[in-house]
Amino acid sequence: MKSMFKLSALIAALGFTTLGIVPAAQAASPTEKATVVLVHGAFADGSSWDDIIPSLHQQGLKVVSVQNPLSSLADDVAATRRALDAQTGPVVLVGHSWGGMVITEVGNHPRVQSLVYVASFAPSVGQSINDLAKDYPKPSGLDHVVVDKEGFVTMSFEGISKHFAQDVPAAKQRLMTATQGPIRGAAFDEKVSVAAWSTKPSWFIVSEQDRMIQPALQLDNAKKISATTVRVQAGHVPQLSKPKEVIKAIVDAAKSIQN
């Protein structure tokens, strides 16, 4: 009985109820600084943002890096929505690569005030990645993927080192290969039902040496959504190879909602 009492007291002290967690919105503060919620892409995990998170902290921003299961668009949207629900102030929602699909779908969340696309996709309602890419030449990186018997896709070391992250140090390339998140191939045919960029101000980092998403596709997406566009001489992971430019875009997006 004593142990049960202690457990109940602990739950109460942490702000839980028998029906679940007290909604974060109850603790919202109108003066609270923005939180940056980072959404990684395919063949990656939440650590793909490690190089820029300390600098965002130095700018006074809170940061959350979502861990996407990469099992479906719906699953990744659910993971990101949980992260958004946990915030108590305004959010800058950032998506890299496949993460652009996720933030487009979930970015209408009331906490989200601005969107940042990083070497990414910005689909319209009813579009999938394959819909977006069909009118552009096939990127060279897609020749270096491996599909397992359950339909999950990974990249070979050659793919990571020469096409996904060709402009980052070799040690980082090896680490990225080891920690990559397999994505369910069928996800590339899944379509968004919402286009959050139609109602939220957006920024777009266009990587002009990208071998995973055609730079022309990125630029056309940026124009379509009327994004503040930053063009960088970088491969598919500018958050690693051109971190200053990515940090500045995120900080600018945060400043736009705090002024």
One DSSP character per residue, the chain reads -HHHHHHHHHHHHTTEETTEEPPGGGG--TTPPPEEEEE--TT--GGGGTTTHHHHHHTT-EEEEE----S-HHHHHHHHHHHHHT--S-EEEEEEETHHHHHHHHTTSTTEEEEEEEEE--PPTT--HHHHHTTSPPPGGGGGEEE-TTSEEEE-HHHIIIIISTTS-HHHHHHHHHHPPPEEGGGGG---S--GGGTS-EEEEEETT-SSS-HHHHHHHHHHTT-EEEEES--S-HHHHSHHHHHHHHHHHHHHHH-
Residue 1 in any domain: the answer is: no
pLDDT of residue 5: 37
pLDDT of residue 71: 98
Q: How many domains does the chain have?
A: 1
Q: The domain containing residue 91 runs over which residues?
A: 32-258
Residue 25 in any domain: the answer is: no
pLDDT of residue 32: 72
pLDDT by residue (tens digit) across 185-235?
999 999 999 999 999 999 999 999 999 999 999 999 999 999 999 999 999
Residue 90 in any domain: the answer is: yes
Give pLDDT < 70 ranges for the chain. 1-31, 258-259
pLDDT of residue 37: 98
Residue 120 in any domain: the answer is: yes
Q: Residue 38: give its domain's CATH number.
A: 3.40.50.1820
pTM for the model: 0.88
Residue 199 in any domain: the answer is: yes
pLDDT of residue 23: 43
pLDDT of residue 31: 56
Residue 248 in any domain: the answer is: yes
Residue 12 in any domain: the answer is: no
Residue 217 in any domain: the answer is: yes
